[in-house]
Amino acid sequence: MAKIVIVGAGIGGIPMAFEMKDLARKEDEVVVIADTPTFHFVPSNPWVGVNWRKPEDIKVPLEPVFKKKKITFIQQKVARFQPEQNQVELADGSTVAYDYLVIATGPKLAFEEIEGLGPHGYTESVCHVDHAGPAGERWQEFLQNPGPIIVGAVQGASCFGPAYEYMFTAETDLRQHEIRDKVKITYVTSEPYVGHLGLDGVGDTKSMLESEMRNKHIDWICNAKVDRVENGMMYVTEVDDSGNVKKQHELPFKHSMMLPAFKGVDALFGIEKLTNPRGFVLVDEHQRNPTYKNIYSVGVCIAIPPQKPTPVPTGVPKTGYMIESMVTATAHNIRDELDGKEPSHKGTWNALCLADFGDSGIAFLAMPQIPPRNVQWASRGRWVHWAKIGYEKYFMRKVRKGLSEPFYERLPLKMMGIMRLKK
């Protein structure tokens, strides 16, 4: 019998639990540790931030799902990982031992790295539903007394899609309220160009997004470093391609949503040979830590080095389908080890993304996500908006049913050449 412990219950942790339970032997125990009683569908947070969804609309209670799947659920925060002892310490001082550990904690949001940033400062966040909910309440107040808006991502950020989605959805909402003419919108980003996305672009995302922003009268500042934020004012340094100061901006705003840089969670930070200096988990091509070989990791919490340097630091995003491919590889590799074999499976890290703009959107496919790629494609249109709504309903249904990749999902994707595991 083996005890397989998964820490985290988000986009990575939930499918990890389902796949691992399906692949584990009957006598093995699968345990999930999470500090929340619910799963929440992170890609819908931009809608929550403008009141197109309520927080409860995108949540699924975990206890009934895990009970049905016969997965042990421990609702507690992990205080510290203890890889030398093969255990995790919980917030109440107790410990949970494991034979195999899968770390799927997600990131720590590093608001503290910039003065005045974040929900406890002067900008909103849609990285977590607990931030997006209050942001939606303040958005409602903003509609009664509109003014300039700043949206974007600060230096070190690695997830740019939600910033574009929030900005365009907010713009659509302003038009629906017939007050778009009263609001100046500026996109401020550490990306070297619009549509970079931390991926050096995908297909024609640069021209697509620039065109969309021009059509909707949105200004932008790239290669931007946010120095500090004060109440109603953002101080930004714009640099050139060599990193030299190009211009200093003082940008007034009435409302702002800025994505922060990510770090590893406190329970991981500073554990030598398990994490890098930012606290992200080090993994090999099989999602396994090179030092602690019974520890695997999936999702936003793993370390992926930037492929190309940028004038202002940017990270590499970990998108939904890419994370799911990590999950499938990890589940199969742990099963390999249970059977006395060496891990042999590798995730494709393919990315299939839908970015909603409120009444249209952009879809892109990158195989793999990180260049050079075998396939890259991008398209835009109203269909993306409806596809994103459909995907939200579908994914949450999978969570309620305890499914990761049912055959009716796997087969059509396979016909298109989109698979989770490398051949």
CB 289 within 8 A of CB 297: yes
Three-state secondary-structure class, residue 29: strand
Q: Is 127 a catalytic residue?
A: no
Q: Which of 86, 33, 39 is nearest to 62 (CA)?
A: 39
Q: How many Å apart are CA 181 and CA 204, to the nearest integer?
A: 29
β-pair type (72-75, 29-34): parallel
381 Ramachandran zone, left/alpha/beta (phi>0; psi -120 to 50):
left
The residue behind tokens 């569908």 is 41
Catalytic residue among 127, 222, 301, 353: 353
Q: Which of 145, 159, 132 is nearest to 53 (CA)?
A: 132
The residue behind tokens 């003082």 is 250
Q: Which residues contact 7 (CB under 8 A, 6 or more apart)?
A: 13, 32, 33, 34, 78, 81, 88, 101, 102, 103, 104, 105
| Tokens encoding 219 | 């200004």
CB 17 within 8 A of CB 69: yes
Q: How many Å apart are CA 352 and CA 161, to the nearest integer?
A: 12
CB 29 within 8 A of CB 6: no
Q: Which residues contact 181 (CB under 8 A, 6 or more apart)?
A: none
Q: Is 301 a catalytic residue?
A: no
Catalytic residue among 127, 159, 222, 301: 159
Q: How many Å apart are CA 196 and CA 201, to the nearest integer?
A: 4
Element (H, E) at 330: helix 320-338
The residues annotated as belonging to the active site are 159, 353
